[in-house]
């Protein structure tokens, strides 16, 4: 790929982004990225797509679902790279969700070797922390992990 190329093939985008071509095609089918087609029906991507893919991968790496990523990318004009302001706005949209996820992960780390309130009573400790599955009154699943 020429450093100043205005458009990228799917192979060039895959190589530069580190994302397999199959994933790029999937992103396109999901409406996360866009391409133009040549007369031979080959995909061509603008250089801005490289930054959009980086945004998708960074967002996925912290557990943001693709539907949420797509919702935010829908506000980005076509063929435009995410800007600092765009990243800040996306971060603001996801801040509360990420904070809840962080709390759950910390709780899981701290409680995983203890009773998590699932009612399984398979650990000796469960009989002490959750006797008679008293946490079931609060709903199904691992109640001590799920509380927000």
Residue 146's Cβ-count burial label (10 Å; 0-12, 13-18, 19+) is middle
Selection from 140, 73, 71, 64 nearest residue 95 by Cα: 64
Give Cα 96 to chain centroid, integer Å.
Answer: 14
Angle 21-29/48-61 helices, nearest 10 degrees?
A: 90
Name the DSSP letter for residue 62.
Answer: T
- Decide if 31 contacts 25 (C-beta within 8 A): no
State the pLDDT at residue 129: 73
State the pLDDT at residue 1: 47
Q: How far apart are the first and last CA of the chain?
A: 48
pTM, 2 dp? 0.71
Per-residue confidence in pLDDT tens, the chain, 148 aa: 455 568 999 999 999 999 999 999 999 999 999 999 999 999 999 999 999 999 999 999 988 999 999 999 988 888 888 889 998 988 888 999 899 888 888 888 877 777 666 666 666 667 667 777 878 888 887 777 776 6
């Amino acid at each position: 790929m020429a450093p100043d190329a205005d458009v990228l093939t799917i192979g060039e985008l895959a190589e530069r982004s580190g994302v397999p071509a199959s994933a790029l095609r999937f992103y396109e089918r999901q409406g996360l990225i866009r391409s133009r087609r040549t007369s031979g029906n080959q995909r061509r991507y603008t250089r801005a797509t490289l930054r959009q893919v980086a945004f998708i991968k960074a967002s996925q790496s912290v557990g943001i679902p693709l539907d949420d990523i797509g919702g935010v990318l829908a506000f980005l004009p076509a063929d435009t790279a995410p800007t600092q302001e765009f990243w800040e706005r996306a971060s603001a949209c996801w801040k509360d969700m990420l904070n809840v996820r962080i709390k759950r992960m910390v709780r899981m780390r701290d409680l995983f070797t203890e009773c998590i309130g699932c009612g399984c009573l398979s650990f000796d400790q469960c009989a002490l922390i959750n006797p008679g599955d008293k946490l079931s009154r609060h709903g199904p699943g691992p109640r001590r992990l799920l509380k927000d």
